[in-house]
Structure 1
Amino acid sequence: MSGTAVRVDTTSPVPPYEQIRAQLATLISSGRLAEGERLPTVRQLAADLGLAAGTVARAYRELEAASLIRTRRGAGTRVAPPPPGARRGETAALADGTRDYVAWAAALGFGEDDVLEAVRRAFRERDA
């Protein structure tokens, strides 16, 4: 990961695995991590961040499920090519922003209904 740093804020209400997942997804969707670029091993990134390997492994699993990275024995974990016709950057950015917003709202004590109503209200105001 050529000098690109992932950081974890232990005081954040967002779980560490989600912080890692969101940061890597943003780096991939923005092109700062290019297709084929090798990511650190789970153990290495966990050691670098002072976290349990399971935390990093969960972030990697979620990135793999989103088809953003691919792990192969002997080749390591690399940024995956985008699926044909995918809007990877836009979709990943929307998912990242949504997760951040939900985590922020939940930390303030708002529930799902409150968040959904706030989003609907924002769309109505935008369209007015």
Structure 2
Amino acid sequence: MITLDASHPSGPAEQVRAQIAALIQSGELDADERLPSVRQLAGDLRVAAGTVAKAYKELEAAGLVRTGRANGTRVNPGQLLDAPALKEVRRLVAAARNAGMSLDDVQGIVAVTWNA
């Protein structure tokens, strides 16, 4: 589900946040689906619980998840990318793979384009 890359320029909390957000927006995580507990995910990823807690707090602030004591952290409904945008993202990924580009290459180009 989630992997961390020690050589990635983003820290582990940002990597966790970004990957969970992408899973939610792509529909791979269903509405109301329960995420692993902070301790569980931290143990699985071998990071401090505070790292995962920070990612979960940022996801909650963005409205992607909600947290409750008894119910844990769950995906908020209605967070999917709209179908045309998701289709374009998948098209971009396919084109980048066909061109032999790495994920880092694509992320760099997207970041530059986003900020232009």
Q: TM-score, length-normalised on structure 2?
A: 0.70
Uncovered stretches (5+) of structure 2, i.e. residues with no partner? 90-106
AA partner of residue 15 (structure 2): Q
Tell me if 1:56 matches 2:41.
no
- 1:96-111 equivalences under 5 Å are 100-101=107-108
Uncovered stretches (5+) of structure 1, i.e. residues with no partner? 94-99, 106-114, 121-128
Aligned-pair distance for 1:81? 1.4
Residue in 2 aligned with 1:45?
41
Could you report, residue by residue, the CA deviation over 1:47-94 in whole angstroms, capped at 9, with x for unpaired residues? 000000000000000000011011111011110112xxx7x5269x8x
Percent of residue pairs bearing the same amino acid type: 52
Q: TM-score, length-normalised on structure 1?
A: 0.64
Structure number with greater Rg is 1
Following TM superposition, the consecutive aligned residue runs of length 4 or more in structure 1 with deviations greater than 3 angstroms are none
Task: Report the aligned-residue RMSD.
Answer: 2.7
Aligned-pair distance for 1:119? 4.6
The count of residues paired between Structure 1 and Structure 2 equals 95
Residue in 2 aligned with 1:89?
81
